[in-house]
A = this chain, B = another copy of it.
């Protein structure tokens, strides 16, 4: 996913809050299956109201997504959105010399552009 500045700003804003950052990390660790809202709220020690507020915020920012499963609403990390964020931050890194900028992650983000993304990258 190719982010532009306003979206990236929203995403970073969403990650700049303790409860939300914890939520995202928990969901990243949980993987694609995700977790119900209640469990996430408990895991980060937030009231149901506060958890709902922050989950909605993260979803608006494109960092997580939700689906209903009977009574529960299951949230899961949006890995496309997360990698898009990394890509945005490092776009045009070092005027086209990514290897100068960062030893690992960023070089990868550069070398594994959307084109190469689907077919596993050299990594």
Residues of chain A having any CB pair with chain B under 8 Å: 5, 8-9, 12-13, 15-18, 21-22, 24-25, 28-32, 77, 79-80, 82-83, 86-87, 89-95, 97, 99-109, 111-113, 116-118, 120-123
Contacts and interface: CB of A to CB of B under 8 A. Distances in A.
A79 to B, nearest CB: 5
A103 to B, nearest CB: 4
B90 A107 contact: no
Contacts of A8: 21
Q: Give the number of copies in the complex.
A: 2
B15 A89 contact: yes
- The secondary-structure label for the interface of chain A is helix
A77 B105 contact: no
Contact of A105 (B92, B112, B118): B112
Contacts of A109: 86, 104-105, 108
A77 B13 CA distance: 20
A102 B83 contact: yes
